[in-house]
Amino acid sequence: MKRQALAAIIASVFALAACGQQAAEKPAEQPAATAEASASAASTAEQSAAAETPAGELPVIDAIVTHAPEVPPAIDRDHPAKVRVKMETVEKTMKMADGVDYHYWTFNGDVPGQMIRVREGDTVEVEFSNHPSSTVPHNVDFHAATGPGGGAEATFTAPGRTSTFSFKALQAGLYIYHCAVAPVGMHIANGMYGLILVEPKEGLPKVDKEFYIVQGDFYTKGKYGAQGLQAFDMDKAVKEQPEYVVFNGHVGAIAGDNALKAKTGDTVRMYVGNGGPNLVSSFHVIGEIFDKVYVEGGKLINENVQSTIVPAGGAAIVEFKVDIPGSYTLVDHSIFRAFNKGALGQLKVEGEENPEIMTKKLSDTEYKPADAPAAAAASAPAAPAPAAEASAPQNAY
Ligand SMILES: [Cu+2]
């Protein structure tokens, strides 16, 4: 043992010495590391400079917040601010699907709650009101906040009351916020979640279109499509067997007449969250490849991705350029959720065709396999339509 430990120490000393020598002899070969080190030093300096400005002395601005699928405008400040955000929890009955109603619990009147966009280093001041008609207290846990409960205790608010608290957005990223009053699963299952984007200080690259999308799973007493007002089913929620899995709170919220829109040549960025409460999403856009994915909404960028995981209580940012006009279907690629539980959206793209990238069907002729008896082939019945297509809630493809 002792000999091994000693050998390891000697080896690491040699390794360190070798590193030092290399750095001293060949500084030109390490530009990235040096640049990174300086950037890191600058970033640390900025952070401490920002930290020196007390929140009370920051300029105060009101947050521009948006209902899905709209996204607040990019931050054009180069300095931190105190950003005031008003949140109101409201319990209200809304349409879940055609002929199906559900008594949602909401932030600011819909599911998801409004999208909030701040800058890394901002102080976020939250004015949190629970509507007098609410039946229970609500609160908010910001995954963008650092501190116990993400603000859940500070914002715990009875019906007809308003609470305030603030937190500093220390780390850039795309974060979920959600209600965290017990039973937590039930508050989330009723729709109490949304996204806050903490833009990096240097901002995000400019794109042509931005969309705000949050997936959620819903647990109703009646089966998918059962008509009328549907009550929450705790047993199905505990078993993680949702009747509905949807984007933006309702079947068809971003499909048909509500489809997202873009033009050929546009770069599209989607801020995708997953409120859960239970399911992990395999987010996919049929007919597109994500040029970039900010993995789990953080700093790591992956490229050329077909489907990306969006964890329950997590997020991802996806970007792609649309080249060909037509309808692109957004799905959770756990595919029965898409075609049988509602997890379908559409991005409709208008513009010029580009047959260099993809053609329309060029021909459709009879196929005569060499081994097929001529008579049998001639009398073969037409193939039936695939069952999945026939029963699809949306005309997806
Ligand atoms: Cu709640």
Q: What is the 3-state secondary structure (H, E, C) of the chain?
A: CHHHHHHHHHHHHHHHHHHHHHHHHCHHHCHHHHHHHHHHHHHHHHHHHHHHCCHHHCCEEECCCECCCCCCCCCCCCCCCEEEEEEEEEEEEEEEECCEEEEEEEECCECCCCEEEEECCCEEEEEEEECCCCCCCECCEECCCCCHHHHCCCCCECCCCEEEEEEECCCCEEEEEECCCCCHHHHHHCCCEEEEEEECCCCCCCCCEEEEEEEEEECECCCCCCCEEECECHHHHHCCCCCEEEECCCCCCCCHHHCEEEECCCEEEEEEEEEECCCCEEEEEECCCEEEEEHHHCCCEEEEECEEEECCCEEEEEEEECCCCEEEEEEECCCHHHHHHCCEEEEEEECCCCCCCCCCCCCCCCCCCCCCCHHHHHHCCCCCCCHHHHCCCCCCC
C-alpha 182 chain-centroid distance: 24
- How much is the pLDDT for 6? 39
Q: Is residue 160 part of a domain?
A: yes
**pLDDT value at position 233?**
98
Report if residue 82 sits inside a domain. yes
pLDDT of residue 27: 39
CA of 256 relative to ligand 1 center, distance in Å: 31
How confident is residue 384, by pLDDT bands cut at 50, 70 and 90?
Answer: low
324 pLDDT higher than 80: yes
What would the mean pLDDT of 153-177 be, rounded to a whole number? 98
- Parent domain of 258: 56-350
Distance 310 CA to ligand 1 centre (A): 22
Other Cβ atoms closer than 10 A to 243: 23
Confidence band of 372 (pLDDT split at 50, 70, 90): confident
Would you say residue 46 lies in a domain?
A: no
pLDDT at 14 over 50: no
Residue 199: pLDDT band (50, 70, 90) is: very high
Length, in residues, of the chain: 397
Say which residue, 9 or 220, is predicted with more confidence: 220
Higher pLDDT residue, 391 or 195? 195
User: Is residue 27 assigned to a domain?
Assistant: no
The verdict on whether residue 67 carries a ligand-binding annotation is no
Q: What is the rounded CA–CA span in Å between residue 222 and residue 218?
A: 11
Q: What are the backbone angles phi and psi of residue 372, rounded to the nearest 5°?
A: -85, 130
Q: How far is CA 37 from CA 40, 170, 321, in A?
A: 5, 20, 33
Identify the residue with better confidence: 220 or 7: 220
pLDDT (tens digit, 9 = 90+) per residue, 74-92? 999 999 999 999 999 999 9
178 is in an annotated binding site: yes
Q: φ and ψ at 55, to 5 degrees? A: -55, -35
**Average pLDDT value for the chain:** 87
Which two structure tokens, joined as six digits, stand for 45?
């300096």
Percent of the chain with pLDDT over 90: 79
Answer yes or no: is 131 a known binding residue. no
The predicted pLDDT at position 56 comes to 84
Task: State how far the Cα of 31 lies from the Cα of 386, in Å rounded to an integer.
Answer: 57
Q: How confident is the model at residue 329 (pLDDT cuts 50, 70, 90)?
A: very high
Is the CB of residue 97 less than 8 Å from the CB of residue 342? Answer: yes
Average pLDDT over residues 323-346: 98
Structure confidence at residue 291 as a pLDDT band (50, 70, 90): very high
* 163 found inside a domain: yes
Q: Is the pLDDT of residue 16 over 90?
A: no
Mean pLDDT of 307-326: 98
**Which structure tokens are listed for 119?**
């800058």
For residue 175, the domain's CATH number is 2.60.40.420
* Centre of ligand 1 from the C-alpha of residue 129, in Å: 12
The pLDDT score that the predictor gives to residue 48 is 52
Is residue 89 included in any domain, yes or no? yes
- How far, in Å, is the centroid of ligand 1 from the Cα of 317? 26
Which of 52-61, 304-313, 317-326, 384-393 shows the lowest mean pLDDT across its residues? Answer: 384-393
CA 319–ligand 1 middle distance (angstroms): 32
Q: Are strands 141-142 and 281-286 parallel, antiparallel or unpaired?
A: unpaired
Tokens 């987010």 identify what position? 283
Q: Is residue 12 very low, low, confident or very high in pLDDT (cuts 50, 70, 90)?
A: very low
Any binding-site annotation on 143? yes
Distance CA(206)–CA(204), nearest Å, equals: 6
pLDDT attached to residue 54: 85
- At residue 239 the predicted structure's pLDDT band, cuts being 50, 70 and 90, is very high
- Whole-number Å distance, alpha carbon 232 to ligand 1 midpoint, is 14
Q: Residue 394 has what pLDDT?
A: 46
Under 8 Å between Cβ of 351 and 263: yes
Supply 101's token pair: 């109603």
Total tally of structural domains belonging to the chain: 1
- Cα separations (Å) of 69 from 75, 110, 233, 358? 18, 11, 28, 29
- Let me know if residue 15 belongs to a domain: no
In a domain, 326, yes or no: yes
